[in-house]
């Protein structure tokens, strides 16, 4: 069990974008098929006035033209009232969250093979059980949307051009109760994400292939890459990025919702990481998972769906890896060529430098991250890596097959 996306991290971009980022695709789509609550959520999602600076919206970092993920290659996104603060984790895509179960320490694994273990939830540590619960976190976080309180958010909604729509959806007197209005605002954001098909179109080339539809024929290198994906002695990707029928009716989600520590290198682009005593411990940093009881969970982060992975510009919870090929290479050579990934300080290679030594027994030991000796043969050849990357590109949404003659 390995890695994951977060929930509704309504982070922000940068002062250079604050003047007017065009959210072209989704803003242009009619909302007639959405429920009143989802229509409100859509308005909120693109509303910059709902931030402490008045210059960012949810869509600033969750760009609909980039699979609802950042359009830039920053490891973490700036935010706060003056856009001068930064997040602590890479902003995830918001696509394909509709089947995510609430967090459980012992979640049934959908592959029917792996034993139950930590899984589910939103945010990269699963602390929110639903998308609505998750939305509250970034709306109020000082380094993200930067609102002072729920009342602050509700006052902005009361003044918004869609306040009448909010009343239509939730009642004429909804703004008289701040707690209720804030709760309904969170539900509206959740409804938009669950109802709008752009968050889960299931229209990649792989979807055409899996459904035996015209245009879904995989090329020879894509077929080889899919074989590498499913080979337990090579990519072994399916072990965590499960692509069969899953929980709650999920089909081909490309995650098993699980958690794992994989020893991603420390990323000093993140301001907190410049403090040598700071570590992002993932699952065991949660207030309901205090040490020492949660020691076996330290360093674990959620396994993301691999859908649209080829559109991302940074990878893993800290954005330390900058390309899909390098992400694959990290899995393949973390153990066989550690000097490529970790720094050497005073002549000593700092393997697993972003996880304290006390927690390194938590690191995943599945192929290809199986602890094979440095200098030994990795699980995948260079050809395997190239083919796997080609296959992962078939998971990108909005695929348009060439017209038939």
pLDDT at residue 315 in the model: 98
Report CA Rg, the chain.
Answer: 21
Task: Compute the average pLDDT of residues 205-233.
Answer: 95
Which is the CATH superfamily of the domain at 205-393?
Answer: Cytochrome c-like domain (1.10.760.10)
Q: Is residue 176 within 8 Å of residue 183, measured between CB atoms? A: no
pLDDT at residue 300 in the model: 97
Report pTM: 0.90
pLDDT at residue 314 in the model: 97
Asked whether the predicted pLDDT for residue 355 surpasses 60, the reply is yes
Asked whether the predicted pLDDT for residue 306 surpasses 60, the reply is yes
Q: DSSP readout, 96-135?
A: S-TTPPPPEEEEPPTTSSSPPEEE--BSTT--BSSHHHHH
Give the C-alpha separation, 34 to 41, whole Å: 10
Task: Give span(s): CATH 1.10.760.10, the chain.
Answer: 24-199, 205-393
Look at residues 182, 99, 94 and name the one whose alpha carbon lies nearest to residue 133: 182
- CA 336 to chain centroid, in Å, comes to 28
Judge residue 339's burial from the number of C-beta atoms within 10 Å of its C-beta, 0-12 exposed, 13-18 middle, 19 or more buried.
Answer: exposed
pLDDT in tens, 60-97: 999 999 999 999 999 999 999 999 999 999 999 999 99
Give the class (CATH, top level) of 24-199.
mainly alpha
Q: Is residue 77 within 8 Å of residue 11, measured between CB atoms? A: yes
Look at residues 231, 226, 233, 183 and name the one whose alpha carbon lies nearest to residue 205: 226
Q: Is residue 380 within 8 Å of residue 228, measured between CB atoms? A: yes
Cα distances from 360 to residues 299, 335, 349, 357, in angstroms, run 8, 14, 15, 5
Give the C-alpha separation, 119 to 283, whole Å: 10
Q: Cis before residue 368, ω within 30 degrees of 0?
A: yes
Judge residue 163's burial from the number of C-beta atoms within 10 Å of its C-beta, 0-12 exposed, 13-18 middle, 19 or more buried.
Answer: middle
Q: Is residue 205 within 8 Å of residue 215, measured between CB atoms? A: yes
pLDDT in tens, 22-67: 334 443 344 449 999 999 999 999 999 999 999 999 999 999 999 9
β-strands 259-260, 117-119 pairing? unpaired
Give the C-alpha separation, 234 to 343, whole Å: 26
pLDDT at residue 405 in the model: 65
């Amino acid at each position: 069990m390995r890695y994951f996306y977060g929930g509704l991290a309504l982070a922000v971009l940068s002062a250079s974008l604050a003047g007017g980022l065009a959210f072209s695709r989704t803003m242009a789509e009619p909302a007639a098929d959405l429920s009143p609550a989802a229509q409100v959520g859509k308005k909120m999602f693109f509303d910059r006035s709902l931030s402490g600076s008045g210059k960012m919206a949810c869509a600033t970092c969750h760009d609909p033209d980039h699979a609802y993920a950042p359009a830039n290659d920053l490891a973490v996104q700036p935010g706060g009232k003056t856009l001068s603060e930064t997040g602590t984790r890479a902003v995830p895509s918001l696509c394909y969250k509709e089947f995510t179960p609430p967090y459980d320490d012992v979640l049934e694994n959908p592959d029917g093979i792996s034993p139950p273990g930590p899984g589910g939830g939103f945010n990269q540590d699963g602390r929110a059980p639903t998308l609505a619960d998750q939305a509250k976190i970034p709306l109020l976080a000082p380094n993200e949307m930067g609102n002072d309180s729920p009342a602050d958010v509700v006052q902005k909604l009361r003044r918004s051009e869609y306040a009448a729509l909010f009343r239509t959806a939730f009642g004429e007197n909804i703004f008289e109760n701040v707690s209720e209005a804030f709760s309904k605002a969170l539900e509206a954001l959740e409804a938009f994400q669950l109802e709008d098909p752009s968050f889960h179109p299931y229209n990649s080339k792989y979807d055409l292939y899996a459904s035996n539809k015209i245009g879904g024929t995989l090329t020879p290198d894509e077929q080889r890459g899919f074989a590498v994906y499913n080979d337990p002695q090579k990519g072994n990707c399916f072990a965590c990025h499960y692509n069969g029928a899953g929980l709650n009716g999920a089909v081909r989600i490309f995650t098993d919702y699980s958690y794992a520590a994989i020893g991603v290198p420390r990323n000093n682009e993140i301001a907190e990481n410049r403090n040598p005593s700071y570590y992002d411990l993932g699952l065991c940093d949660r207030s309901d998972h205090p040490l020492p009881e949660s020691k076996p969970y330290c360093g674990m982060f959620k396994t993301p769906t691999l859908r649209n992975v080829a559109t991302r510009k940074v990878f893993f919870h800290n954005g330390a890896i900058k390309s899909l090929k390098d992400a694959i290479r990290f899995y393949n050579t973390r153990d066989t060529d550690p000097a490529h990934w970790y720094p050497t300080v005073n002549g000593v290679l700092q393997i697993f430098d972003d996880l304290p030594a006390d927690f390194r027994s938590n690191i995943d030991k599945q192929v290809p991250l199986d602890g094979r000796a440095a200098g030994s043969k990795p699980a995948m050849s260079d050809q395997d890596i190239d083919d796997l990357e080609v296959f992962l590109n078939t998971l990108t949404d909005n695929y348009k097959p060439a017209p038939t003659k």
